[in-house]
Chain A
Amino acid sequence: MENWTQRILLKSTLLGVLMANFLNFAYATDTDKPLIEPDVRPQIVDESLIDTENFELGVFAGVINIEDFESSPVYGARLAYHLSEYLFFEGNVAMAEGGDTSFETLGNVTLLTSSERDYRYYNFGVGFNLPGQMFFPGAFTFNTNFYLVSGVGATEFADDNRLTINFGGGYQVLVNDWLSVHLTVREHVYKIDLIGEEKNSFNTEISSGLSIFF
């Protein structure tokens, strides 16, 4: 009895498989298409496919020597747009706080209120890259850029806002395609007439920072 039921079951299964195969075959010949179509189309190269990374956004921190007003920590942000492999536009904003002049310290007087000691600048200009490489012991090699920058902007200090010219240079180590480390030295020059007589104020800034390309 058991044999009989087994045989009937087997037969019907076999028939079912055959039927399914036949149906499959009929379907295939009907439409003349593979059941699973590969999702591959020729990719035409155009601008929308390509990820361009010409902008660079970064932050930096360092020390700025405000003439007559000690050296202070400075914090800032930088945006650059790379026009070519050599030339870039850049803009910087930064802030610091002026310290006491030696006259103030010795004479126990105050020339500026604390809000007047807030030092803020912005500038924009152009930069020039000189590409190179940096080799570390072992197999580490990084692409680098030595760059020169120059630009104009304004400095807000001692309740005054003055046209400021800046120039300097820096070294950039490109850690990978999107991250880089900077070391910059920059001179900021503006005219100040705080003590009645107008004179040039030279402010040297040394800073380091990180930037990302996007």
Chain B
Amino acid sequence: MQKRINQKPLAVTLLLLSQLVFSKQVLAGGSWFWLSSKPLAQVTVMAPFVEWHSGPASGYPVFHVSEQGEKLELLIRKTKWMKVKDQKGHEGWITIDDLMLMQDASGTKVSLVEPRFDDFSTRRWEAGLLAGEFESTSVNAAYAGYWMTNNLSLELWGSQVLGNSSEIRILNLNVLHQPFPEWRLSPFFTMGAGKLFIKPKTTLVNEGSRSEDTMNVGLGARYYIDDRYFVRMEVKDYKIFTNRKTNEEATEWKIGLSVFF
């Protein structure tokens, strides 16, 4: 008798541990190894029905339909698609547009803030990749920018100029001003300063690597294609401060794709 009583706490501990390990929340999230304790949000279908696709694209087939009043759990999001799970355990993908027509547990319509190009509060960061010419030599460039106000952003640029006789790497910090942020085709002007690292090709010129200070001014425009991404084109004029008698000047144009977060 005494022994059985002593075994009880052990059994209870084991039971609790197994509950913890195999509990639905830990396993269901799919990301149990991140140990995320985020509760899964639940929504109620308000439209007559909602189509489920087998994957996060309209090209994947519709294989299931949820009816009005059904409750769905939100699992993960990919682009404009949401993976959901119904109360019978089915899993599939619905569009964010359909999700926005549903109600959450508080009884209000789901309202996710989708980034919009003319709404500054939804997009503070942007990044892009551009290619073009720097003094008739090809240039590849990448940048990241942070919007401080609706009109003003700070950008960090890294460019690589791939010439026949030398390779130039440029690092720039630029301030950009966009006077009409609400326009779909929005012009901007920019100015900045940075450093140029010039590495001559050893096979052609017998010269060591050198670095120069540089300043630039530029003009450009961005054209929003869809809610998150836009085409960006720009022309920059570089002043290169050499330690020789004359300073050099270079013109650069680039075009590329950018995205904001």
A interface with B by C-beta (< 8 Å): 42-47, 49-54, 81-87, 89, 91, 124-126, 129-133, 141, 143, 152-154, 159-163, 174, 177-178, 193, 213
Contacts and interface: CB of A to CB of B under 8 A. Distances in A.
A81 B79 CA distance: 10
Contacts of B38: 49, 51
Interface in B138-170: 138, 140, 142, 160, 162, 164, 167
Nearest to A86: B57
B238 interface: no
A45 B80 contact: no
A180 to B, nearest CB: 11
Interface stretch (B12-20, B58-66, B215-223): B58-66
Contact of A44 (B106, B162, B164): B106
A165 B197 CA distance: 24
Contacts of B203: 159-160
Nearest 6 interchain pairs by C-beta: A131-B59, A85-B57, A143-B55, A42-B106, A163-B138, A42-B105
Given A51-B77, A89-B129, A132-B59, A83 B228 contact: yes
A201 to B, nearest CB: 14
30 contacts: A42-B105, A43-B39, A43-B105, A45-B74, A45-B110, A46-B111, A49-B39, A49-B41, A50-B41, A50-B74, A50-B76, A50-B112, A51-B38, A51-B77, A53-B76, A85-B58, A85-B80, A85-B81, A87-B229, A124-B142, A125-B129, A129-B57, A130-B59, A133-B61, A141-B54, A153-B140, A154-B162, A160-B203, A174-B55, A177-B30
Contacts of A54: 78-79
A132 B53 CA distance: 12
Which of A50, A82, A161 has the largest number of chain B CB atoms within 10 A?
A: A50
Interface residues of B, number: 52
Which of B43, B74, B81 has the largest number of chain A CB atoms within 10 A?
A: B74
Given A51-B31, A133-B54, A84 B226 contact: yes
B195 to A, nearest CB: 19
A121 to B, nearest CB: 12
B104 A42 contact: yes
Interface in B195-239: 201-203, 226, 228-229
Nearest to B54: A143
Interface string B70-111: 000011111111110000000000000000000011111011
A42 B110 CA distance: 13
Interface string B4-38: 00000000000000000000000000110000101
Contacts of B167: 161
Given A45-B104, A85-B81, A159-B203, A177 B76 contact: yes
Contacts of B111: 45-46
Contacts of B39: 43, 49
B77 A42 contact: no
B112 A45 contact: yes
Given A45-B110, A49-B38, A82-B79, A163 B140 contact: yes
B243 to A, nearest CB: 25
Given A83-B226, A154-B162, 6 more contacts: A46-B113, A52-B77, A84-B79, A85-B80, A133-B61, A159-B203
Contacts of A83: 79, 226, 228-229, 259
B131 interface: yes
A213 B75 CA distance: 14
A45 B104 CA distance: 6
Contact of A50 (B36, B56, B82, B142): B82
Which of B110, B140, B259 has the largest number of chain A CB atoms within 10 A?
A: B140
Contacts of B80: 84-85
B191 to A, nearest CB: 26
A141 B57 CA distance: 16
Given A132-B59, A163-B138, A51 B259 contact: no
Contacts of B74: 45, 49-50
Contacts of A160: 201, 203
A44 B162 CA distance: 52
B186 interface: no
A129 B162 CA distance: 31
A161 B197 CA distance: 14
B251 interface: no
